[in-house]
């Protein structure tokens, strides 16, 4: 199991979040951004 902390909620961050959410061997531990409203979980 790979544990990931994602920094940033821009275009690239949203695409990575989607990939990590769908992957079975990846655990997205934390997603950080200065503006909490920018983080939208799919």
- Give me the tens of pLDDT residue by residue for the chain, a chain 42 residues long: 999 999 998 899 999 999 999 999 999 999 998 887 777 665
Domain span at residue 24?
A: 2-38
Q: How many CA atoms lie within 13 A of 29 on its CB side?
A: 5
- The pLDDT value recorded for residue 24 is 95
- The pLDDT value recorded for residue 15 is 93
Residue 6, classed as helix, strand or coil, is strand
Domain count, the chain: 1
- The pLDDT value recorded for residue 4 is 95
- The pLDDT value recorded for residue 41 is 63
The CA radius of gyration of the chain, in Å to the nearest whole number, is 10
């Amino acid at each position: 199991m790979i544990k990931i902390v994602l920094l940033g909620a821009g275009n690239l961050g949203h695409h990575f979040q989607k990939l990590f959410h769908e992957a079975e061997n990846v655990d997205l531990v934390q997603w950080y951004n200065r503006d909490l409203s920018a983080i939208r979980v799919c």
